[in-house]
Amino acid sequence: MERPTLVRRAWFAGGMIALATGTIGIALPLLPTVPFYILAAFCFGKSNPVWEARMLAHPRFGPHIMAWRERGAISRFGKVAAITMLTGSAIGGWFLLPGHWAYVPAGIAIVCGSWIATRPS
C-alpha cells in the first residue's frame, strides 16, 4: 500500500533538513556531518528511494552510512575525532562555566564518549 502523500512529504522534508544540516557541518567544525547524513538517508528511505540511493552511492559518505546500517559501526578516525572534541568541550566547560554547570559538559562527554567507544569500527 502506498504511503500517504503528506507522510512521505514530511519524511522527505526531514531528510532535506538533515542533509542541509550535515552539509553545513562540513564547514562548521563543531557540527557533525555523517550523523546528519545517516539521518537523511533514513528519511529518504521512507520517502524517496532515488535520493536514498544517491546518498548510499556517494563515494565519501556512502560507506559510512552503509557501515552504520549494517553493523552500527563508526570509523576509527570518527571515534577519535568525536572523543577528542568531547574532551575539548569538557575541558572548556570546566574553565568557562560557573559553579556546578562546569560539570555538565564533562558528564555529557563521559556518557557520549563511552557509547561512541563501544561501537564497532
pLDDT value, residue 21: 93
Name the DSSP class of 98.
-
Q: What residues in the chain have per-residue pLDDT under 70?
A: 1-3
Distance of alpha carbon 107 from alpha carbon 80, whole angstroms: 18
**63 lies in the same domain as 106:** no
CA distances from 38 to 27, 73, 98, 112 (A): 18, 12, 36, 18
**pTM of the shown model:** 0.76
**100 lies in the same domain as 63:** no
Distance of alpha carbon 53 from alpha carbon 75, whole angstroms: 21
Domain tally, the chain? 2
pLDDT value, residue 119: 92
**86 lies in the same domain as 67:** no
**65 lies in the same domain as 81:** no
**Residue 87 belongs to what domain range?**
76-118
6-18, pLDDT tens digit by residue? 889 999 999 999 9
pLDDT value, residue 80: 92
Grid coordinates belonging to 13: 522534508
Distance of alpha carbon 35 from alpha carbon 84, whole angstroms: 17
| Cα radius of gyration rounded to whole Å, the chain | 17
